[in-house]
Chains A and B, each alone.
Chain A
Amino acid sequence: MAEELVYKKPRLLTDKDFHFCPGCSHGTIHKVIAEVIDQMGMENSSIGITPVGCSVLAYNYIDIDWVQAAHGRACAVATGIKRLNPSKLVFTYQGDGDLAAIGTGETIHAANRGDNIVVIYVNNAVYGMTGGQMAPTTLLGMKTVTTPNGRDAKLHGYPFKVGEMISQLEGVCYFTRQSVHTAAGVRRARKALRRAFELSMEGRGLSFVEFVGTCSSGWKMSAVEANKWLDENMLPFYPLSAE
């Protein structure tokens, strides 16, 4: 019988090696985005907005059009682009340092206006690029370089569940939380992202796709340990959506 191809590197990923650390979730999430855009045949009509943070260089890796926004301003830039180009698929790709800290205002108001954009939010509970400092999403008791004794609610406040808050707004048509640390998770994430992109093109409002990710360098562990830690600590607090 003839040999069939089951899986290969998505066509829209460039040959450039990712600058990410070994095992970083960003690589897998980039791959999922490239696959879904290719499946939908939208490579010539997609515009992504990159944030400030580790994923700022996404434009080097996924072969579509990109705009790079100032720190936290991706949703504001996406709003402008989508309003001028309603036929394009416009999405932002932001980390928790970008979206949940400096960009909270832009994100909430874009969601409340119900702009037809997709927000891809990667939550790994630390500032990865700058060396693993506490982020608004850091779990209670979690050790980072700026919370060496663990995050304390009295001193640092509580971890910020952006997704749950955004999902309450009228302008949001879809909120889902996914992870890419298992093969089953990646398959679910692919479906969820496709749904978000389709809803956005139907003009239904803002779709918010959260990925719970790992930061093995920021968490000071190996990639395999980080995946296990995500399963045991992150997922109980940031539970995944069914779809």
Chain B
Amino acid sequence: MAKIKGRLEIDKERCKGCAVCLTACPFSILELGREVNSKGYNYPRVVDLERCTGCASCATVCPDSCITVYRTKQL
């Protein structure tokens, strides 16, 4: 069976740390990191990339359009 793997690129400088992406992820693979960007907001990081399917739910709900999603199908 083909396995679909996702990859996220997060624009941490544009992020405002609202955490809406965390709750949108069906696999809960995102969390807010301890580091802050130049605006002083904590931005999300991927804690379990293996489980990402590239469904783009996080990017779809992101109000500041900070997330770019890529997907690879592995046969």
Chain B residues near A27: list those with CB within 8 A. Answer: 62-65
* Contact residues in B for A2 (Cβ distance below 8 Å): 72
Whether a CB of chain B sits under 8 angstroms from the CB of A169 is no
For A186, list chain B residues within 8 Å (CB). Answer: 60-61
Q: Which residues of chain B have C-beta atoms less than 8 A from A6's C-beta?
A: 6, 54, 56, 59, 69-71
Per a CB cutoff under 8 Å, which of A4, A7, A227 touches B67? A7
Picked from A4, A23, A180, the residue with its CB within 8 Å of the CB of B16 is: A23
User: B28 at interface (Cβ–Cβ under 8 A)?
Assistant: no
B75 within 8 Å of A by Cβ?
Answer: yes
CB distance from A232 to the nearest CB of B (A): 14
Find out whether the CB atom of A28 lies under 8 angstroms from the CB atom of B61: yes
Contact of B73 among A1, A181, A182 (CB under 8 A): A1
Using a Cβ–Cβ cut-off of 8 Å, how many residues does chain B contribute to the interface with A? 35
Chain A, 1-55, CB within 8 A of any chain B CB: 1-10, 13, 17-18, 20-28, 31
Q: In whole angstroms, what is the CA distance A180 to B62 when docked? A: 10
Q: Is A224 an interface residue (CB 8 A)?
A: yes
Please indicate the chain B residues that have their CB under 8 angstroms from the CB of A181 in the complex: 20, 61
User: Judging by beta carbons under 8 Å apart, are A223 and B70 in contact?
Assistant: no
**Count of interface residues, chain A, beta-carbon cutoff 8 Å:** 34
As a 0/1 sequence over residues 98 to 130 of chain A, the CB contacts with chain B under 8 angstroms (1 = contact) are: 000000000000000000000000000000000
Q: CB distance B14 to A17 under 8 Å?
A: yes
Contact B60 A224 (CB under 8 A): no
Instruction: Kindly state the separation between the CA atoms of A13 and B65 in the bound complex, as whole angstroms.
Output: 9
A242 at the interface (CB under 8 A from B): no
Closest residue to A186 on the B side, CB-wise? B60
B31: min CB distance to chain A, Å: 13
CB atoms of B70 and A3 under 8 A apart: yes
Name the contact of A22 in the complex, choosing from B18, B68, B72 (C-beta under 8 A): B18
Please tell me if the beta carbons of B70 and A183 are within 8 angstroms of each other in the complex: no
Which among A3, A182, A216 is the interface contact of B7 at CB below 8 angstroms? A3
Using CB atoms and an 8 Å cutoff, list the residues of chain A in contact with chain B: 1-10, 13, 17-18, 20-28, 31, 180-183, 186-187, 216, 222-224, 227
